């Protein structure tokens, strides 16, 4: 699986999984990625550490 924010590979059994009301699944490797996506509403394309292609 890959992180929904930074696209880093997540090892099975680790990370965080959130399911939206409409059924979309978000996976995160760290609280940093979760906070940037939901609380701060940031775009991952604006950060060098987020490896978005």
Structure tokens that stand for 39 in this block: 């609380």
pTM for this one?
0.82
Given this model, what pLDDT does residue 36 score?
94
Domain chopping of the chain, boundaries: 1-39
Q: Under DSSP, is residue 17 helix (H, G, I), strand (E, B) or coil?
A: strand
Token output for 13: 């059994």
pLDDT on residue 53: 62
Amino acid 47: pLDDT: 84
The highest-level CATH class for domain 1-39 is mainly beta
Per DSSP, the three-state class of 36 is: helix
pLDDT of residue 4: 93
CA dist 7 → 16, 21, 53 (Å): 14, 22, 9
pLDDT in tens, 3-53: 999 999 999 999 999 999 999 999 999 999 999 999 999 998 888 888 766
pLDDT at res. 31: 95
């Amino acid at each position: 699986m890959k992180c929904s924010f930074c696209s880093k590979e997540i090892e099975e059994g680790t990370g965080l999984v959130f399911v939206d009301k409409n059924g979309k699944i978000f996976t995160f490797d760290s609280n940093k990625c979760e906070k940037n996506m939901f609380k701060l509403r940031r775009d991952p394309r604006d950060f060098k550490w987020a490896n978005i292609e």
